[in-house]
Amino acid sequence: MQALAERVHVDLAGRTLTGWEPLGFAGLKTVTPSPDELIGRMLRAVGRRGKYLVFDFDETQARSPRLLVHLSQAGRLDLEQPPKRNRGGKGGVVRLRFGGDEQPEAAVLIREHGTERKAAWWVLAAGDDGPLAQLGPEPDDDDFAELILHGADRRRVHTLLRDQSTVAGVGRGYADDALWRAHLSPYATLAGTDAAQRQRLLGAVRAVLHDGLDRERTRTGGLSEPKLGGHFEVHGRSGTPCPRCGDPMRRVSYDSYEVTYCPACQTDGKVLADRRFSRLVK
């Protein structure tokens, strides 16, 4: 999301919102202010908070109306220069049109693959944080370091890393990669880790995010490919050799996702029970 925000910023900051086309019914999560109130305003900056893209309008940083976009798992963002005339295809959410003095027209198309309908957007009045108010600190913040180094959270680390109200912007993939880098079990808890392991975990979370950002910065355009495919070090690679020790990576399957780990590097060689597999053989 960070790299995508940077690309949208480079392409569109300084242009004026000239219109918006609702393409789906459920996408807009706010009633007031109306998106119409953003028309004619200049897009000052595009940034990121957690997994949200944040479009800041107007000149003054502190009190500007904002538009948020959350792509969720299957959401895509196309940069259209010039804007297209179609309805965004199946799964269209919204098209935001931008123009400006002597600048060619451009648009951002938000759309979603599949049938989940989770991609969404918000228009927030100045001073309203909307869903951003629920987010925990960013991984680079001191508050996150404090939590990892001294916290007594009893949940599994994998779970707390994915909880956006605990720390913002870490998904399943980065959680898998961070635990693998830190040599920690997917079932590890903060309460059960010592100071050295906590320090390793903090460094690993920050490192996988920074490395991921470096890779994502090599992309161009919107986000139209299957998101982050082949992007992770170990996430989604069960059955392939561990990049560090060469032993086969394993997985634990849940209903809608799976956790990838290396027994040799992370669990003292112990293979964790795979619930889905266990159910099948019963």
- In the complex, which residues of this chain contact Zn ion (CB under 5 A)? 242, 244-245, 262, 264-265
Rounded Cα gap, residues 210 and 216, in angstroms: 10
Q: Which is nearer to Zn ion, 155 or 244 (CB)?
A: 244
Contacts of 168 (CB under 8 A, 6+ apart): 49, 50, 51, 135, 136, 137, 138, 139
Asked if omega into 35 is within 30° of 0 (cis), the reply is no
Q: Least distance in Å: CB of 159 to Zn ion?
A: 22
CB of 185 to Zn ion, least distance (A): 12
Q: Least distance (Å) from Zn ion to the CB of residue 114?
A: 33
Give min distance, CB of 211 to Zn ion, in A.
18
Element spanning 212, H or E: helix 195-216
The residue (of 53 and 175) whose beta carbon lies closer to Zn ion is 175
Question: Please, which residue, 149 or 245, has the CB nearer to Zn ion?
Answer: 245
Taking the least distance from each CB to Zn ion, the nearer of 119 and 264 is 264
Q: What dihedral angle (degrees, nearest 10) is formed by the CA atoms of 178, 188, 270, 258? A: -60
d(CA 241, CA 220): 30
Contact at 8 Å (CB) between 177 and 233?
yes
Residue nearest to Zn ion (CB): 242
